[in-house]
A and B are shown apart, each in its own frame.
Chain A
């Protein structure tokens, strides 16, 4: 009996059961700590899709200073990033690149659709080269309306995203 229990396969099963129990016991404090870490270090990808990037730049500037809310200035390497702010219109030529960038980012990753064009197509809804919203390409967490949104609106959107991360369960 004892020998059977300690055979390699059974031992593995036992260990995994034990770890499940451990995770269940430690879930809420550990999850809180991990989410806390994610909230205050959101790194956006430096991918500008259209003109809303001007207001994104203004939000990183000294007056609005999005960094004090834990959103760090747009950064070059997407391997270190966990947030895409889709800054405006996504054209048919840009759409595959946007998906490519999203696929290359490590988990977990979040998407903010900034501006009317990124939400529904906005002013350019009847253009031949513009997608009606980015929902079809990447899963969107927070929509920030406006054309272009004021930096305050963008900051509020970022805080909503942080709220969402705080409540989400880690896997």
Chain B
């Protein structure tokens, strides 16, 4: 690094004089670790492109701890990961815009690379129908996992994600009903969970959970267990094709809402399950028996029939902010 030293001397020489009038090669003073830190905020394409700058920069990109692929094809990604030199990486992300013409053949190599390099954050958003590599669900270093549209979830036994704090499962297919329960029961320190899918069976029993987002079809098989740390929930439920007894269904919906009686912020959208709500709004008896208090609730964003609102307000006696959207 002789160039770097030369510039550092030059900088020191001018530092006591009128430094602003002298052109100083400021960023040449930076240690490699700081340059790699700056490059970690760029996409991998941009960071690899800096190899053209000078000999010193030729391989710096291969020590950048974040790999952020945007629309690169399989060959390019394979090549980049084969040249990457760090033994521990921070984040690995692949996002694609063109889902029809530009599909990935296999995720196994990427997942093995990321998991093998002790990755902390994985973010995948592209279209794929293949089974997701199993090593994603047994990664001991993973803190953040976001999977969107990117494949079939196969978790036939309990997962092992001892450090995972944030889990987002969106628009995925599941091989069996047990996959989601198997997955989340392997996350003992989970703080944030997002589930956006048509899960037939969902049992959320996570004492460490602070934030929960469910955009799902409502069935009696959605159950919440111990949610002692939960402070914020965002719930959108779908269900209108049911042929079952609406009254029973309504009761289970109210029982489901009871799970969120400790939260401070609740966003609840029932616009897509209006039939399930009919008994709630038309039967005074059913609603009068719903006496669960939401003492901690300070912010409520509610989308439903306006006849449901007074009862909710009665049960939430510390409410400060209400955002209500009426569904007719």
Q: Do the two chains belong together in a single complex?
A: no
Q: Which residues of A contact B (CB under 8 A)?
A: none
